């Protein structure tokens, strides 16, 4: 089982007791989010929509890669990987 580090955006820190970074386990992003939910009940429904897909205005990165350019929820999360969850805003 691989342990990864997950950066939590301000908007979700109510679920993590104010922590900006937490540990989670899982070999894919899907498993990591499931593990996050087990430790921080309610957080998965903020990241995923009713169909279990990543919400339209959430960007998730594994390392430097936007998972939308990789395999989405099936993107591998190797041990020690950094997962970042970020609200999608873009400026110019």
Partner 1 sequence: MGRKASLMAPTPVNDLTPAGNLGPATALVCRECGHRRELGAFYACEECFGPLEIEYDFGGLTRADIESGPANIWRYRGLLPVPENVADTPNTEPGLTRLVRADNLAEALGLQRLWVKDDSGNPTHSFKDRVVAVALAAARELGFKVLACPSTGNLANAVAAAAARAGIRSAVFVPSNLEQQKIITTAVYGGTFVTVDGNYDDVNRLASEIAGEQDDWAFVNVNVRPYYAEGSKTLGYEIAEQLGWRLPDQIVVPVASGSQLTKIDKAFQELIKLGFVEDRPYRVFGAQAEGCGPVSAAFKAGHDVVRPVKPDTIAKSLAIGNPADGPYVLDVVRRTGGAVEDVTDAQVVDGIRLLARTEGIFGETAGGVTVGVLKKLIDDGTLDPSAETVIINSGDGLKTLDAVSPVVAPSANIAPSLAAFRAAGLA
Task: Report the interface residues with partner 1, using CB under 8 A.
Answer: 7, 9-11, 20, 46, 49, 55-59, 61, 64, 66, 68-69, 84, 86-92
Smallest distance from partner 1 to CB 61, Å: 7
Smallest distance from partner 1 to CB 28, Å: 20
Smallest distance from partner 1 to CB 8, Å: 8
Name which of 20 and 41 has its Cβ closer to partner 1: 20
Contact 3, 80 (CB under 8 A): yes
Contact 65, 86 (CB under 8 A): no
Rounded to whole angstroms, how far apart are CA atoms 62 and 69?
11
Rounded to whole angstroms, how far apart are CA atoms 15 and 56?
20
């Amino acid at each position: 089982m691989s342990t990864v580090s997950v950066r939590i955006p301000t908007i979700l820190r109510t679920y993590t007791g104010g922590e900006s970074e937490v540990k989670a386990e899982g070999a894919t992003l899907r498993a990591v989010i499931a593990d996050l939910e087990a430790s921080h009940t309610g957080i998965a429904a903020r990241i995923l929509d009713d169909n279990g897909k990543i919400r339209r205005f959430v960007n998730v990165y594994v390392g430097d890669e936007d998972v939308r350019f990789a395999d989405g929820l099936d993107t591998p999360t190797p041990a020690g990987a950094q997962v970042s969850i970020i609200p999608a805003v873009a400026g110019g």
